[in-house]
Chain A
């Protein structure tokens, strides 16, 4: 995208980009890093993207806007909780020295209230931390439950 992202989160991981991509896109492994959610990503532009809450309820829906394994995935992202217009979420996986940089970008189309900005920062920070631990140690984090803000 040419425009600047509205939110940027990143972490550096001692694992190759291919492993980070596999963890990001394998739906059976997503619940371990996505607070119990199952993320399903199609393989081509225009394919379905969706996130199911624990229990199977559709939580986020969208479609694949860009996909270039193992470097880049971008999806439209309409969640069922905030009532905000859809955003785009982009993951970038790049080599950085001896490590791999995993970046999350969000592109917003409306003012996002502070409580959701804060919840998003907490959620993504936890997700990136769990993915990093899984890739570096092979172990998962103890489960952490995050509630949406009231």
Chain B
């Protein structure tokens, strides 16, 4: 048995390239992803890391490997929470970004899959993705991210 995929769809008034860049340029995610930056070439086979800032500056919160990369349309990577703890012990899951233009709009679908039954990671990312993607949309449309995070969301 395994838990169902998590899927979130959002429409953004920005080009596919702008969305791709915000997700992968390393620094932009700090504005909408709970202040985390990332490091990767985002090419197939490359490793990736998401890194905390602020009080926990430099901590690697999760890491993985790029499984598929077709800029600016498709990105798939493995996602492994840094240990120790039960979320780490679940092992890696899989994240897919699908970016599709639709006239002046772009549709971004994030699918997070590969969860075991009773997954703690699924529970965590189900709260996280809507915040991250809402922040991404604000960042691209208004130039300002949003902070819909409280400490409890991270626990």
What is the interface residue range for chain A against chain B?
20 to 34
Tell me which residues across on chain B come within 8 A of A98, comparing CB atoms.
146-148
A99/B11 in contact, CB under 8 A:
no
Q: How far is the CB of B72 from chain A (nearest CB, A)?
A: 19
Quick check: which of A9-17, A37-45, A61-69, A74-82 contacts chain B, the rest being far away?
Answer: A9-17
Tell me which residues across on chain A come within 8 A of B8, comparing CB atoms.
125
B146/A142 in contact, CB under 8 A:
no
Quick check: which of A47-55, A106-114, A126-134 contacts chain B, the rest being far away?
Answer: A126-134
Tell me which residues across on chain A come within 8 A of B146, comparing CB atoms.
12-14, 97-99
B142/A137 in contact, CB under 8 A:
yes
What is the interface residue range for chain B against chain A?
20 to 34
Q: How far is the CB of B113 from chain A (nearest CB, A)?
A: 16
Q: A136: CB under 8 A from chain B? A: yes
Task: Render B67-81 as a binary contact track against A, CB cut-off 8 A, 1 for contact.
Answer: 000000000000000
Tell me which residues across on chain B come within 8 A of A116, comparing CB atoms.
none
Tell me which residues across on chain B come within 8 A of A137, comparing CB atoms.
141-142
B11/A129 in contact, CB under 8 A:
yes
A97, A121, A136, A141: which contacts B9 (Cβ < 8 A)? A121
Chain B residues 108 to 155 lying within 8 A of chain A, measured CB to CB, are: 130-131, 134-135, 137-138, 141-142, 144, 146-150
Tell me, in angstroms, the Cα distance from A122 to B7 when the chains sit together: 11
B104/A97 in contact, CB under 8 A:
no
Tell me, in angstroms, the Cα distance from A25 to B135 when the chains sit together: 25
A10, A126, A136: which contacts B11 (Cβ < 8 A)? A126
- Which residues in B have some Cβ–Cβ distance to A below 8 Å? 7-13, 102-105, 130-131, 134-135, 137-138, 141-142, 144, 146-150
- Which residues in A have some Cβ–Cβ distance to B below 8 Å? 10-14, 96-99, 101, 121-122, 125-126, 129-130, 132-133, 136-137, 141-142, 144
